[in-house]
Amino acid sequence: MTSPMPPLRSGQINDAGILVTTIASSPTAPLSPPPQTTGSPTPTPLAEAILDTLVHRIGKDAQAARPHDWLAATILTIRNDIIERWMTSTKAAHAAGAKRVYYLSLEFLIGRLLRDAIANLDRTGEVTEALASLGVELAALEEIEPDAALGNGGLGRLAACFMESLASLDLPAYGYGIRYVNGMFRQRIDDGWQVELPENWLSHGNPWEFERRESAYFIGFGGEVVGHEDGSIHWKPAEALEALAVDTPVVGWRGKRVNTLRLWTARAFDPIRLDAFNAGDHIGALAGQARAESLVRVLYPSDSSAAGQELRLRQEYFFSSASIQDIVRRHVQYFGDIRTLAEKAAIQLNDTHPAVSVAELMRLLTDHHDLGFEEAWGITKATFGYTNHTLLPEALESWPLPLFERLLPRHMQIVYAINAKLLREARAVAGMDDRAIAAISLIDEGGERRVRMANLAFAGAHSVNGVAALHTDLMKQTVFADFHRLYPTRINNKTNGITPRRWLQECNPGLTALIREAIGDGFLDDLTRLTDLRPFAGDAGFRERFMAVKRSNKVALAAHLRESMGLRVDPDALFDVQIKRIHEYKRQLLNIVETVALYDQIRSHPERDWTPRVKLFAGKAASSYHNAKLIIKLANDVARRVNADPSVGGLLRIAFVPNYNVSLAEKIVPAADLSEQISTAGMEASGTGNMKFALNGALTIGTLDGANVEIRDHVGADDIVIFGMTADEVADRRASGYEPRSVIEGSPELRQAVNAISSGVFSPDDHGRYAGLMDGLYAHDWFMVAADFDAYASAQREIDRRWADKDGWAASAIRNVAGVGWFSSDRTIAEYARDIWGVM
């Protein structure tokens, strides 16, 4: 496999006759100290292969190589092993005539891949050793790999965990999405304010991806629909472009299987119009390509202000059409008969973002494969499943009907035909009144007419699932109540999960090693085996080692905070963490206001035995979300004042860590003592950060919302601190007229904190900065910060008491780890496979 070594100058050759010069010789920052020229380990075959790749694929020798060259060479070398398994997996699925799972998602929040891939191949030791023999440190290479951040938050990260679990469970599956050139923005904090910068994750190329030039599809927009005498229908789009497949291999645990993440990029049919170019119109000649590129340029933020934007609908259709065409083509190629599609393909819609796929499949089946409407509808429903991730009415996607019709005239006709059938079925059910019919309709007729994507997805799927038990119950009771009456077996629950490879083994090797020593290796293949750890909560020696692992993770995070933001924190303080998208319903504001109240208390009663705390916040706000950005500024303003105040004597330190992403989460989660999951009950569909923290031995302070409810059931009510109103209580309180002003006035601590913030104590440069935000609490307090404040504050004091009992805290943390194994995404995927996809 390896070709001869490049000629090397003497003096740079070690005892073994191999070049050991490191990237330290590169003009950019060194990754490790210069190696010894004697006594270096003998280069392993893998080391020789990496060096060979460096020379022959990257075109650099070891002296000239920069860190990114070493990274690329390492990835390309490891990739060879992956490619072989990839081809084996594909052939095996083909030979078995296996049913395939297709996960359609506008977001895949993957993070870095190198560590994950080599860990799943069980080659971490080998790669570490090989690189070391070349004078390169694996960990340093891992740190410079850019995050693939093609997602906003939980929904995108879930898609990434699911892809990994699908491969780990040896299920043939494809993920479909968009290869955004700029994914999630990079967040900088300037003077406390969020600034969004483009993140160019592809600037060094992407050694993980494979362009598939043969997999290209025609995507049309606009134009007209022509009906022919023979009854056939022809859509003549006015514009068209090409979708090109770019594949990334997804390695499952123990390298069992390698699946494909297929991301679409866009190309104009005629990238340059030579006639225009030659006529001197150099810009206009490239306009088609520029238009095509604009489709895959940006990831839309998760806020409602993006809804209704034409480019977003174009993205949704572009990606849906390419994916559905690809699925149909593969099916016909392998199985010959489109009518068996549902037996061989299960397509899961990750929220409504790909919901236009329902109409697209109908179009292909009827217009291109000549099936009748009824037969096509039967196949479509049997093929699709739809996962809902939110109940917030403003987050339910709908498109102005004129826009939808202009861009997708044929799909509009299909939507009308589906709607006619749907409403006929609904009218036949006893007790469906006009209100219920209007609620089920695919068209919202109240005001400007709009196409409702959730209704289209619901109607076009045989399964509709929520992502936590409470969320699924609320779906049945609220947004989908009428649909649920019409199709009472369609809604089902699939509580979210997280992959334990990334979120335990890779991010917390210390804890993983400790658990292995205690209970053996079984949990690596079945995370529920962590229950065997429960008795160790009573073992003093184990508790001590467990807390030593936690402490060393905290020391590592403290070092990172010091290096990255110049902040010093005490690793012996309680690390209290809230990291997630910034959104009012997630109530970062509740945490900040309570922090201000605590600060006030510490200053008034310095003699009390306060728990030293480090409060960590991180998260991005959608760029147009004014209040979310103001909350970031407030966290920074409070941090500045508190951290500079000698009178709190280091008892309270606050940090807003910039640019939250998957890689930062992998550093923070293992170091957390306390996990803040404090959304207004009924508003967080599930949450998955909550699971990551518990798996890494943090206690949760949380409301009975989303998956917190089930986490309590699994870890035990004694080992989680629950506070505040339930979802039912929130709904009742809203219905009976909530008056936050009287609540604030009735709580001295809260009033003091709100008034301090409002009057500019934390914003001396602009006293009025937070007056509006605080007025909102007095006036309406949509997210019931005030209503839950006292309960939250006393829950925090309960945390202080528990922290003071070191043994009790450690035991509780251990029981969290022991109890949370059920939240593996392997379990979630097994449930989807069995109940929805019929592949297990």
> Look-up: residue for tokens 């219920």?
436
Q: State which of residues 8, 13, 24, 306 lies at the interface with ligand 26Q (CB under 6 A).
A: 306
Contact in structure between 258 and 249 (CB atoms under 8 Å): yes
Determine the size of the site formed for ligand 26Q (CB under 6 A). Answer: 22
Helix (H) / strand (E) element for 613: namely strand 613-618
Q: What residues contact 733, with CB distance under 8 A and at least 6 apart? A: 725, 784, 787
Residue 46 carries which DSSP code? H
Burial grade of 408 (CB within 10 A; 0-12, 13-18, 19 or more): buried
Segment lying near ligand 26Q (by CB under 6 A), choices 147-155, 174-182, 233-241, 507-515: 147-155
Contact in structure between 339 and 372 (CB atoms under 8 Å): no
Three-state DSSP at 180 gives coil
Residue 354 binds ligand 26Q, judged by CB under 6 A: no
68: annotated active-site residue:
no
CB of residue 646 vs ligand 26Q: minimum separation in angstroms? Answer: 40
CB of residue 616 vs ligand 26Q: minimum separation in angstroms? Answer: 20
CB of residue 794 vs ligand 26Q: minimum separation in angstroms? Answer: 26
Q: CA dihedral defined by 571, 577, 580, 582, rounded to 10 degrees?
A: -110
Segment lying near ligand 26Q (by CB under 6 A), choices 19-27, 152-160, 550-558, 608-616: 152-160
Of 498, 508, 500, which is closest to residue 546 (Cα–Cα)? 508
Segment lying near ligand 26Q (by CB under 6 A), choices 133-141, 151-159, 655-663, 821-829: 151-159
CB of residue 175 vs ligand 26Q: minimum separation in angstroms? Answer: 15
Q: State which of residues 120, 152, 215, 703 lies at the interface with ligand 26Q (CB under 6 A).
A: 152
Residue 576 binds ligand 26Q, judged by CB under 6 A: no
Q: What residues contact 741, with CB distance under 8 A and at least 6 apart? A: 778, 779
Residue 688 binds ligand 26Q, judged by CB under 6 A: yes
Q: Phi/psi of residue 541, each to 5°? A: -65, -40
Residue 117 binds ligand 26Q, judged by CB under 6 A: no
CB of residue 316 vs ligand 26Q: minimum separation in angstroms? Answer: 9
Looking at beta carbons only, is 495 or 812 nearer to ligand 26Q?
Answer: 495
- 773-781 — which CB contacts under 8 Å span 24+ positions? 773/589, 773/627, 773/630, 773/631, 773/634, 776/627, 777/589, 777/740, 777/744, 778/740, 778/741, 778/744, 778/754, 779/740, 779/741, 780/740, 781/738, 781/740, 781/743
d(CA 189, CA 770): 18
586: annotated active-site residue:
yes
CB of residue 586 vs ligand 26Q: minimum separation in angstroms? Answer: 8
d(CA 354, CA 352): 5
344: annotated active-site residue:
no
Q: State which of residues 158, 579, 628, 777 lies at the interface with ligand 26Q (CB under 6 A).
A: 158
Strand partners of residue 216: 244
CB of residue 679 vs ligand 26Q: minimum separation in angstroms? Answer: 8
Contact in structure between 109 and 157 (CB atoms under 8 Å): yes
CB of residue 238 vs ligand 26Q: minimum separation in angstroms? Answer: 24
Choose, from 179, 501, 580, 653, the residue flagged as catalytic: 580
Q: CA dihedral defined by 792, 794, 795, 801, rounded to 10 degrees?
A: 150
Choose, from 77, 265, 688, 703, the residue flagged as catalytic: 688
Segment lying near ligand 26Q (by CB under 6 A), choices 212-220, 362-370, 567-575, 682-690: 682-690
d(CA 467, CA 217): 33
Residue 474 binds ligand 26Q, judged by CB under 6 A: no
Task: Return the residues of window 159-218 that contact ligand 26Q according to CB under 6 A.
Answer: none
Looking at beta carbons only, is 153 or 385 nearer to ligand 26Q?
Answer: 153
692: annotated active-site residue:
yes
Choose, from 85, 257, 581, 815, the residue flagged as catalytic: 581
Contact in structure between 297 and 180 (CB atoms under 8 Å): yes
- In the chain, the largest separation of any two C-alpha atoms, in whole Å, equals 90
> Look-up: residue for tokens 């809902």?
388
Residue 684 binds ligand 26Q, judged by CB under 6 A: yes
Residue 149 binds ligand 26Q, judged by CB under 6 A: no
Q: State which of residues 86, 201, 300, 599 lies at the interface with ligand 26Q (CB under 6 A).
A: 300
580: annotated active-site residue:
yes
Q: State which of residues 127, 155, 422, 442 lies at the interface with ligand 26Q (CB under 6 A).
A: 155
Q: State which of residues 64, 98, 286, 307 lies at the interface with ligand 26Q (CB under 6 A).
A: 307
Segment lying near ligand 26Q (by CB under 6 A), choices 36-44, 301-309, 518-526, 831-839: 301-309
Q: Residues 19-41, buried b or exposed e (16+ Cβ, 10 A)? A: bbbbbeebeeeebbeebeeeebb
Looking at beta carbons only, is 43 or 466 nearer to ligand 26Q?
Answer: 466
Looking at beta carbons only, is 60 or 312 nearer to ligand 26Q?
Answer: 312
Residue 670 binds ligand 26Q, judged by CB under 6 A: no
Q: State which of residues 255, 706, 724, 776 lies at the interface with ligand 26Q (CB under 6 A).
A: 706
Segment lying near ligand 26Q (by CB under 6 A), choices 30-38, 236-244, 324-332, 680-688: 680-688
Contact string 381-400 vs ligand 26Q (x = CB under 6 A): --------xx----x-x---
Q: Residues 535-562, buried b or exposed e (16+ Cβ, 10 A)? A: ebbeeeebbebbbebbeebbeebbebbe
554: annotated active-site residue:
no
Three-state DSSP at 634 gives helix
Choose, from 484, 554, 586, 613, the residue flagged as catalytic: 586
Q: Are strands 148-150 and 108-111 parallel, antiparallel or unpaired?
A: antiparallel
Q: Are strands 258-267 and 239-251 parallel, antiparallel or unpaired?
A: antiparallel
Catalytic residues: 389, 580-581, 586, 688, 692
Task: Note the residues at the interface with ligand 26Q (CB under 6 A).
Answer: 152-155, 158, 300, 302, 306-307, 312, 389-390, 395, 397, 467, 496, 684-688, 706
